[in-house]
Amino acid sequence: MRNQREDALLVLEDGYVLAGQAYAAEGRTVGEIVFATAMTGYQETVTDPSYHRQIVTMTAPHIGNTGANDEDPESTRIWVAGLVVREPARRASSWRSTGGFEDELREQGVVGICHLDTRALTRHLRDRGVMRAGIFSGSALPAGAMGLDASAIGVLVDLVRQAPAMSGAALAGEVSTQERYVVEPTGEFAGKEPLAEIVAVDLGIKARTPAQLAERGARVHVVPQHTTLAEIVALEPDGVFFSNGPGDPGSADHEIEVLRGVLAQGLPFFGICFGNQLLGRALGYGTYKLDYGHRGVNQPVLDRATGKVEITAHNHGFAVDAPVGEESVAPYDDGRFGRVEVSHVSLNDGVVEGLRALDIPAFSVQYHPEAAAGPHDAAHLFDRFLELVTARRQARSQTTGEDA
């Protein structure tokens, strides 16, 4: 209940302050504050490793009414640095819930704040851009802070400004699995010889991604972020996948080196979100930080090849800087990887949402076709990847037969 909660403050690095009440765990947390426009799927949101070191503001006004369960998490833990909600649910009312959402957050030590104007906060972030912020409650509040005493607020602002910025942050290694594991084919393919062997590099992978490939008959070898090209090749993959993940793609030098090796070997490649940004860099294009990013499950994207508009799930604060409207030669190594086209664009702001190499088997999208939670408009991209993989596998088989 509202009157049973402790006081709390949300403090942004530019001095913007909102008062509210403690939500989930009490204490102090800092990180980059962002907003997510999804009206559902909040359990999937907080367990998405791409939100590592970010305080997420839920723009939907009522959060927690479907509770928490053991089926929807996208990873083994909650990754958000903090959570901002307007109205927390008093109880879970879904038949699928096994507990309360706030209880789960509290058990994992996630500091949050509620009963504040999330609409005003979102408008502020849209005007000023995402920035560092902190949530403070309980013993983390200095004397006079709730009365907005200037010296007390100054102390909190200083703490926020000491937090590391997202630009330049290399975070994929912090969220990646440390041990390789295998996801076997499922559904009608369970127990059968896999249609393809896929290596998925975990840069913050969501559980639904290898599941999508396994449902299509692939055996998926999920490998850590630090995996080398030699280790990938040793698994004899038919294709390579780079996942979503947190941080600045400009810091991912190891991943870029590995990816260029994958492309040079002619292995079919598919990347999503962070993987899209890394493909852009591997091809020689630049990346840049968006003012406030795209986060939610309702983002309209134009497929330029078909003219179809897909409603897609997003979670990214960086984007690829590539020419839209006509194909270009990939700048890396004097055009070594050939021609590239921007395959998808955002209808909200024109941001590059996908790349397709025209002379090598590689493509990527900035959004999340696994869509958990979210629309399924883009799930066909996993079929497209498997088609590339199958075509290469068949070509190799025919070549081997001719040589024999």
CATH code (residue 113): 3.50.30.20
Close Cβ partners of 95 (under 8 Å, ≥ 6 residues apart): none
The reported pLDDT for the residue numbered 372 is 58
Residue finishing a domain among 161, 189, 212? 161
Is the domain of 150 the same as that of 204? no
Is the domain of 336 the same as that of 301? yes
The reported pLDDT for the residue numbered 401 is 61
Confidence of residue 296 (pLDDT cuts 50, 70, 90): confident
Q: Which domain does 21 fall in, by range?
A: 2-161
Taking residues 387-394, report their average pLDDT: 88
Is the domain of 184 the same as that of 155? no
Instruction: Answer yes or no: is pLDDT of 2 > 60.
Output: no
Residue finishing a domain among 138, 161, 184? 161
Is the domain of 48 the same as that of 151? yes
pLDDT in tens, 237-257: 999 999 999 999 999 999 999
Residue 142 is classified by DSSP as P
pLDDT in tens, 174-187: 999 999 999 999 99
Is the domain of 316 the same as that of 370? yes
221 labelled catalytic: no
For residue 196, say if its preceding peptide bond is cis, omega within 30 degrees of 0. Answer: no
Taking residues 15-30, report their average pLDDT: 97
Residue 375: which CATH number? 3.40.50.880
Q: Judge whether 166 lies within some domain.
A: no
Confidence of residue 373 (pLDDT cuts 50, 70, 90): low
Is the domain of 134 the same as that of 268? no
pLDDT in tens, 332-366: 999 999 999 999 999 999 999 999 999 999 999 99
114 labelled catalytic: no
Instruction: Answer yes or no: is pLDDT of 46 > 70.
Output: yes
Residue finishing a domain among 136, 161, 186? 161
The reported pLDDT for the residue numbered 38 is 83
User: Nearest Cα to 316, choosing from 287, 356, 344, 347?
Assistant: 287
Is the domain of 191 the same as that of 309? yes
The reported pLDDT for the residue numbered 375 is 59
Q: Judge whether 115 lies within some domain.
A: yes
Taking residues 253-267, report their average pLDDT: 97
Is the domain of 234 the same as that of 108? no
Question: Cα separations (Å) of 260 from 162, 221, 227, 243, 314?
Answer: 36, 19, 14, 16, 25
Taking residues 318-324, report their average pLDDT: 97
By the 10 Å C-beta count (0-12 exposed, 13-18 middle, 19+ buried), 315 is classed as buried
Instruction: Answer yes or no: is pLDDT of 135 > 60.
Output: yes
Q: Judge whether 11 lies within some domain.
A: yes
Taking residues 107-128, report their average pLDDT: 97
Which one is catalytic: 26, 104, 273, 316?
273
- Determine contact, residues 268/393, Cβ cutoff 8 Å: no
Is the domain of 225 the same as that of 142? no
273 labelled catalytic: yes
Confidence of residue 403 (pLDDT cuts 50, 70, 90): very low
State the binding site.
Answer: 50, 245, 247, 274, 277, 315, 317-318
Per the listing, tokens 């000023």 go with 128
Q: Which residue type, as a one-letter code, is found at position 204?
A: G
Instruction: Answer yes or no: is pLDDT of 294 > 80.
Output: yes
Q: Judge whether 167 lies within some domain.
A: no
The reported pLDDT for the residue numbered 287 is 97
Is the domain of 88 the same as that of 144? yes
Instruction: Answer yes or no: is pLDDT of 284 > 60.
Output: yes
How many domains in the chain?
2
Q: Judge whether 21 lies within some domain.
A: yes
Give dist(CA 206, CA 244) in Å, integer: 8
Taking residues 84-111, report their average pLDDT: 94
Instruction: Answer yes or no: is pLDDT of 87 > 60.
Output: yes
Q: Judge whether 191 lies within some domain.
A: yes
Is the domain of 205 the same as that of 146? no
How many other C-beta atoms can be found within 10 angstroms of the C-beta atom of residue 61? 11
Instruction: Answer yes or no: is pLDDT of 1 > 80.
Output: no
Instruction: Answer yes or no: is pLDDT of 129 > 90.
Output: yes
State the binding site for L-glutamine.
Answer: 50, 245, 247, 274, 277, 315, 317-318
Is the domain of 357 the same as that of 277? yes
